[in-house]
Amino acid sequence: MAEGATKDKFEGGGWNNQKEEYKVLLWAIHNFGLLYADQGKLDEAEKMYMLALKGREKALGAEHASTLNTVHKLGDLYEDQGKLDEAEKMYMRALEGREKALGAENTSVLHTVNNLGNLYRDRGKLDEAEKTYMQALEGYEKALGVEHTSTLNTVNNLGNLYRDRGKLDEAEKMYLQALEGYEKALGREHISTLLIVNNLGLLYVDKGMLDEAEKMFMRALEGREKALRAEHTSTLHIVNNLGNLYRNRGKLDEAEKMYLQALEGYEKALGREHTSTLLTVNNLGLLYVDKGMLDEAEKMFMRALEGREKALGAEHTLTLNTVNNLGNFYMDQGKLDKAKKMYLQALEGYEKALGREHISTLLTVNNLGLLYADKGKLDEAEKMFMRALEGYEKAIVP
């Protein structure tokens, strides 16, 4: 009702004499978008941002800084929703407008450049992502200095990119540089510092340094419990990561304890259908496969799939991850036709969302190769394996 009434005011044409009041109202609507986005209510957030954008374009103009701020936030939202084409359009509009108004070296411009790097990374365009991050980093260092937190954020993003590319030593160098800077600027227990600690934990898992990984996760967990409380969603992220670590170490009972703790916390804080809740549901499915609890595993995967389709859409990459996991599940059970259906659905979605050469796409290609080998279709299997191999070599060693 309130939203409809607001729309009537904007669209009725009788509000020009109250421009300053409506600027304040538009600011409040924009902030409602921020709130809904933080709560994972992405559709509601989109409605608020679109309403704020329409109002700001009319009241302030398409190139006003406040208008472009809403455009930028729409880019963030569309990226979260997996609408990567729409996200790129928003970021490019924000970037062009901010460069025109403020200059290429303004920090607001650099913030959009950094987020474009995140988008390119999500799309598997790793060369473009690296180029964009380097542009942002160079600009931040010049404008703010090497120890500023915005600079360090981009350093961390470069660490994430190098981890994606399998350049683990370079990633570690970036993370340690960011960690040292955050500790100096913000302290050892600041949540931004602890984010880097968590990323180092993930890196050490990739490097097989599981003792070091556990130390990082435990430091991050203790710090977030102290700073935020045990039930905070940022704390629960670490609990979920510890579950992943224990699962990798074969400590399945400890892993289940972590996942159930995270799940209970997410359901209480965010609801049963929030994407963070569903991530842990998916992880429980993987754990139950490892424990041989196949009925429970299928229930978890189906809950994750249905929830992600509802929250994010059938073509979102997180939804496709669960589709791929169901393919693995059916393959392990010898249900090859069902597995093939899942893999082909995941492959089509990944190719559309991320491109033919993204790591997630290639993983499903490899899974199809294993499936065809099991079915005795060796020529098709070889084609899949060769495509996956060529793609991995190109992605990891460009």
Looking at residue 19, its pLDDT comes to: 65
Q: How many angstroms separate the Cα of 24 from the Cα of each of 55, 61, 70, 73? A: 11, 15, 14, 18
Say which residue the tokens 């390119």 belong to.
120
The length of the chain in residues reads: 398
Q: Where are the domains of the chain?
A: 1-10+18-122, 229-305, 335-398
Q: How many CB atoms lie within 10 A of CB 386?
A: 12
Q: How many CB atoms lie within 10 A of CB 291?
A: 15
Mapping DSSP onto H, E and C, the string for 54-69 reads HHHHHHCCCCCHHHHH
Amino acid identity at 108: S
Say which residue the tokens 């710090």 belong to.
223
CB 115 within 8 A of CB 94: no
Return the CATH number of 1-10+18-122, one of 3.40.50.300, 1.25.40.10, 1.10.10.10, 2.60.40.10. Answer: 1.25.40.10
* Helices and strands (DSSP H and E) totals, the chain: 19, 0
Task: State CA 318 to chain mean position distance.
Answer: 9
The H or E element that residue 80 is part of is helix 65-80
Return the CATH number of 229-305, one of 1.10.3720.10, 3.40.50.2300, 1.25.40.10, 1.10.10.60. Answer: 1.25.40.10
**Residue 274 DSSP code:** S
Q: State in Å, rounded, how far the first CA of the chain is from the last one.
A: 54
Mapping DSSP onto H, E and C, the string for 363-386 reads HHHHHHHHHHHHCCCHHHHHHHHH
Rounded to an integer, what distance in angstroms lies between the CA atom of residue 238 and that of residue 221?
Answer: 6
Rounded to an integer, what distance in angstroms lies between the CA atom of residue 357 and that of residue 72?
Answer: 28
1-10+18-122 and 229-305 share one CATH topology?
yes
Structure tokens belonging to residue 212: 């070091």
Looking at residue 62, its pLDDT comes to: 94
Per-residue pLDDT of the chain (398 residues; tens, 9 = 90+): 333 433 343 444 444 556 667 678 888 899 889 988 887 788 899 999 999 999 999 989 999 999 999 999 999 998 887 788 899 999 999 999 999 989 999 999 999 999 999 999 888 788 899 999 999 999 999 999 999 999 999 999 999 999 988 899 999 999 999 999 999 999 999 999 999 999 999 999 999 999 999 999 999 999 999 988 888 888 999 999 999 999 999 999 999 999 999 999 999 988 898 888 999 999 999 999 999 999 999 999 999 999 999 888 898 888 999 999 999 999 999 999 999 999 999 999 999 888 888 888 999 999 999 999 999 999 999 999 999 999 888 766 55
